[in-house]
Amino acid sequence: MPTFLFSQHLEFGLGGGVSMNGTPTDNMYMKAERHTVNYATSLSLHYDLNAYLQIGADLQISQLSGKSNNIYYTYWGVKVGGDDRTLVYAKTMIAPCFVVNGKYSIGKGYLFGGVALGYGVARQNSKSLSGNESYRAPDGGKGEIFGLQLGYVAPINNHFAVSAEAAFRQYHLQYDTHTSSIGEKENLNYRINAFPIIIALRYRIFSQDKETKTQAKFH
């Protein structure tokens, strides 16, 4: 079996893009079934364990929101939905995750895909609604994150590269406050899926050549 050299990299990435989320589940009474395009940002650090396996940390920050054709009423009798205004579940969804990716060389770059696990918090920047909003979830929902990601990294030179990533994130958000539905006494607790697409600039902090025995071509 032949011996090849592969480079052990530590890569720092900074990126942005868009995200869409699904309809929240469980006892979230205000359910937005119409998708809206939200912002998404990413800060990441990846380290190659070997030619085909990569670990790292990924911090994604995005908005969770949508619109609804249905009409709901809060505990205080305020109408929500049935118009073109937005239901905001998180102005700032802070989602740090530990990631594990498989890698495979394609051209001068590499394809990656893997899983993500983390714990996040949903924040709101104000208790008052803006003109295009009809509902804001309470501030401070916390919970587990599960995710998947698939992407490609294309080198620019020895230190810089561009990556494109499509991801899935499921947030399980739990609150220390009641839902907004009439007569509901349980604390708010729901899951919501998000689908961010991120374009990032990556910087290779260092590179160390290692020997490995393999029959495939890797970076």
Q: Which residue has the higher pLDDT, 49 or 206?
A: 49
Tell me what pLDDT residue 180 has.
59
What is the structure's pLDDT at 183?
54
d(CA 131, CA 150): 37
The length of the chain is: 219
- The DSSP element (H or E) to which 4 belongs, if any, is strand 3-21
* Radius of gyration, alpha carbons of the chain: 21
Distances (CA, A) of 107 to 5, 111, 176: 17, 10, 50
Average pLDDT for 137-155: 95
CB distance 166 to 195 below 8 Å: yes
Closest by Cα among 79, 41, 65, 31 to 196? 41
Rounded Cα gap, residues 112 and 151, in angstroms: 5
What domains does the chain contain, in order, with CATH numbers? 15-206 (2.40.160.20)
| Rounded Cα–Cα distance for residues 186 and 92 (Å) | 24
7 or 94, higher pLDDT: 94
Residues with Cβ within 8 Å of residue 53, at least 6 apart in sequence: 100, 101, 102, 103
Res 3: pLDDT: 40
Q: Is the pLDDT of residue 140 over 80?
A: yes
What does the pLDDT look like over 54-80, one tens digit per residue?
Answer: 999 999 999 999 999 998 887 777 788
Q: How many Cβ atoms sit within 10 Å of the Cβ of residue 96?
A: 16
Give the model confidence (pLDDT) of 21-51 as tens digits. Answer: 999 998 888 899 999 999 999 999 999 998 8
Token output for 15? 């990126």
Q: Are 54 and 72 in contact (CB under 8 A)?
A: no
Q: What is the pLDDT of residue 207?
A: 59
Q: What is the pLDDT of residue 8?
A: 65
User: Which pTM value belongs to this model?
Assistant: 0.85
- Rounded to an integer, the average pLDDT of 200-216 is 64
Cβ 10 vs Cβ 206: under 8 Å: yes
Instruction: Count CB-CB contacts under 10 A for residue 14.
Output: 13
